[in-house]
Structure 1
Amino acid sequence: MAKITKKQKEAKGKVELKAYSLSEASALIKEITSVKFDASVDLAVRLNVDPKKANQMVRGVVTLPHGTGKDVKVLALVTPDKEAEAREAGADYVGLDEYLAKIKAGWTDVDVIVTMPSVMGKLGPLGRVLGPRGLMPNPKTGTVTMDVAKAVSEVKAGKIDFKVEKTGIVHAAIGKASFDAEKITENAQELLTTLVKLKPQASKGIYIKSIFMSSTMSPSVEIDAKRFAE
């Protein structure tokens, strides 16, 4: 069993056994984060859904008002006529066949792939490489589109996609510990508001069962989920 450090004990001691408001949790997370790098701040939201049933799947996109704090690497797999606009929008890598060959060989050093409907046929055979890493473009998340420039710009600005896991939990990074507490709060609020809007009609009873916020290696802080209940 891993030994708990002095700082970890101190952090744990500051977290009370209660449900905090979003603003209280955001401020507390900053206080109990002690790693030497700029830690990610994450939300874990347990939903009252059964992801095995198609009519209870929750998946969507949200643009965080203050971004993720992460320099997102974007690959634009586009035809030559779309390369210029993809580069101008900020794509880190732009091309097609050469990058398809690199991916086939195992290269996946990107965070998001944006492409066009006409290119998706070429990506099909690469599903085993891209799928497990969450890199396969999808029209539902806006990463398969003819408006490549818009898609790249949105991802760079803080657009993230999320999907409920088999356990009924949505995990999402909503910022960095270096953010002001207010910015962390507003990013979390945006994600939670979007989740509420996506409540499946087949989900009965309390939709959001629990919400926890944490940063890299910090204790989890429970957030009052009642205010998000319908």
Structure 2
Amino acid sequence: MASSRPMLAQLSRLCLSPRISGARFEGARFLSATAACASKGKIISKKEKAGTASKGQNPQKNKKKDDSGRKKKKARTTYKSYDMKDAEMFSLCDAMRYIRAFEVGRPPTSVKYEMAIKLKSQKNGPVLRNRLRLPHPVRTDIRICVICPADSKYAEQARAAGASLVGEEEIFEAVKDGRIEFDRCICQTDSLDKMNKAGLGRILGPRGLMPSTKLGTVVKDPAAVLKDMVGGAEYRERMGVVRMAIGQLGFTPEEMQRNIRTFIEAVKKDMAHLNDRINKELSEVVLSSTNAPGFPLNGDFISADSQITTRDLSTS
């Protein structure tokens, strides 16, 4: 114990001595910038730090300058369209063949083919909307409502033409209660004011069932319109795409071809009636069904190397 005291005294004198060689502390780590500068004989004060930061070395201000110098990306005014040259496209018969493979086991009348026509169109421009009767109707069980006085001659003619609901006040009350038991709605001209006062637009409008003069569902003679409406369907452009049920699963390729041709011609006719400043073009035509994906059509009825015939597709 006595021998260790001189060694401890010598070690304490060594650690507390003011003459410390810098070579002994070359590998020392400092936990702050001030300590690192002190080892080199220079200490930075708070005022000097503030002056250094004010000379343009603030990273946040430099970041703001960089962001302001960048050009903002302009928003698209048209819907995005793709180049179909390199895409795989199908003939009508081949597309029907693949779709039937996805719908195997389904009843021929339950699953319907659907056609989507993609347009090159402006986002804020007018949309296409119309009603069309196909050569081969997809739905023949449409329930049609006729708003007219229940004891008028128009009501009798509408019932004879196949209307499922006819009247005024009873229909207004049913719609307000949420009982919408029809697929199409026609209003007789004399009942238009009563229908507007009943406030059905907020209920029937979002469902596409509100009668309007533009769509031809506010007419003088409802019975004459009923004959054309049975088996007809409406289509409307949404986000540059026009969709419509085009056929039943049991339709033959020839029946599908006639329906598709009628639908495309109707869309082209609607585009021709638009203003000259508004330009819409057909970009893509896709055939799909309830459970099948979409198959882009190339315009051919059947391909030369097709492994199926129209007779095979004609059997349900």
Task: Give the TM-score band, short-chain normalised.
Answer: 0.7 to 0.9
Question: Deviation at 1:23?
Answer: 4.8
Unaligned ranges ≥5, structure 1: 1-16
Instruction: Please tell me the residue identity of whatever aligns with 1:202.
Output: R
SS of the residue 1:141 aligns to: coil
Q: Which has the higher contact order (CA 8 A, sep 6+)?
A: 1
2:224 aligned partner: 150
> Compared with structure 1, are the counterparts of its residues 180 and 69 closer, same or farther at alpha carbon in structure 2 (3 Å cutoff)?
farther
Distance across 2 between alignment mates of 1:23 and 1:123: 47
Higher mean C-alpha displacement, 140-149 vs 130-139: 140-149
1:141 aligned partner: 215
Q: TM-score, normalised by structure 2?
A: 0.60
Distance across 2 between alignment mates of 1:74 and 1:35: 31
Decide which of 236, 256, 265 is 1:163's aligned counterpart.
236
Instruction: Please tell me the residue identity of whatever aligns with 1:19.
Output: M
Contact 2:102 2:291 in 1 (8 A): no
How many residue pairs get aligned? The number is: 205
Q: Which has the larger radius of gyration?
A: 2
Distance across 2 between alignment mates of 1:131 and 1:47: 25
Question: Deviation at 1:181?
Answer: 2.2
Which is richer in strand?
Answer: 1
Distance across 1 between alignment mates of 2:90 and 2:194: 48
Instruction: State the percentage of identical aligned residues.
Output: 26
1:61 aligned partner: 131
Write the deviation string for residues 92-151 of structure 1: whole angstroms up to 9, x where unpaired. Answer: 111221111111111112110011122222333111110111111122322111121121
Distance across 2 between alignment mates of 1:207 and 1:221: 20
Question: Deviation at 1:191?
Answer: 0.7
The within-5 A match list for 1:57-96 is: 57-79=127-149, 80-96=152-168
Distance across 1 between alignment mates of 2:105 and 2:208: 27
Write the deviation string for residues 156-213 of structure 1: whole angstroms up to 9, x where unpaired. Answer: 1x22221111x11111112211222221221111111110111133343x70111111
Distance across 1 between alignment mates of 2:215 and 2:92: 26
1:118 matched to 2:170: no
Unaligned ranges ≥5, structure 2: 1-86, 301-316
CA RMSD of aligned residues (A): 2.1
